[in-house]
Amino acid sequence: MSSFISSLRENNRLSVTVILAMSCLLSVSIEAFRVYYSGFNTYLFLIWNLFLAILPYVISTFFLLYYKKINSLILTGIILTSWLLLFPNAPYIVTDFFHLDQKAGIPYWYDLGMILSFAWNGLILGFISLYDIQTALARRFGAIKGWAFAIFSLVLGSFGIYLGRYERFNSWDVLTNPVELFVDIANRFIHPMQHPRTMLMTVLFSVVLIFGYVTLVVMFKPGKEKNNNKHAAPTELN
């Protein structure tokens, strides 16, 4: 455990992980108080969605810390595939605003703030997780391939958000319901004009997520450029 914490500290991830953990606990606390105050568990599913959003962050953190010790391309592929399947769960929480309306026993503004808290955690967990993966790949294969994977992940994640919100597929359907999932996806690519909502939502979310992610990456650059020494953050992408 001490070596793992040391690795987090060396990669400037300990403080980020602690802050994210506190932020997630805050979201859960807000939901717990809502259940206690109103007596209804209407939004309890947000906790499960947040848990799913944490999983890609866990995978990417371990990958960033230990990717140098992974010499097998097959194992690397398995890790990245697992991460890709789970990644859409992070930004997916933004679509939980669909459930927002006036509920009995609690002010509307409280539910708005609560969902915003969960959605923010989902987005930032997803972006940092993607940044981890991009960083590791950029170090091993070059910055261009790192960025290519990042853009691909955001587009695929946007499509995954659609599949989860409207078609009600989950990440684990790849294992438990692969035939139906494959047929549904293939049908939408073979006949895109018959599924305009699929394509339009995927494009819209892709653009929004890409701009949001690039903004986050650019925000990290000034400090690194000024602090070009051994204390600089090790996650520079170019």
Q: What Cα–Cα distance (Å) separates residue 147 from each residue in 30, 79, 100, 138, 221?
A: 36, 18, 35, 8, 15
Is the residue at 188 inside a domain?
Answer: yes
- For residue 1, the model assigns a pLDDT of 66
Residue-level pLDDT at 131: 95
Confidence of residue 220 (pLDDT cuts 50, 70, 90): confident
Cα 46 to Cα 49: distance, rounded to the nearest angstrom: 5
Please choose, from the candidates 167, 155, 173, 152, the residue with its C-alpha nearest in 3D space to the C-alpha of residue 197: 167
* 45 within a domain of the structure (yes/no): yes
pLDDT in tens, 121-161: 999 999 999 999 999 999 889 999 999 999 999 999 999 99
Q: Is residue 231 part of a domain?
A: no
Burial class (CB in 10 A: 0-12, 13-18, 19+), 58: middle
**49 falls within a domain:** yes
Q: Where are the beta strands (DSSP E) in the chain?
A: none
Assigned domain for 238 exists: no
Please give the span between the terminal C-alpha atoms of the chain, in angstroms, as a whole number.
31
| pLDDT tens by residue, 110-131 | 999 999 999 999 999 999 999 9
As for how many domains the chain has, the answer is 1
Q: Is residue 234 part of a domain?
A: no
The whole domain housing 135 covers 2-226
Q: Is the pLDDT of residue 87 over 60?
A: yes
At 230, the pLDDT band (50, 70, 90 cuts) reads: very low
Question: CA 169, CA 131: separation in Å to the nearest integer?
Answer: 26
Q: Is the residue at 19 inside a domain?
A: yes
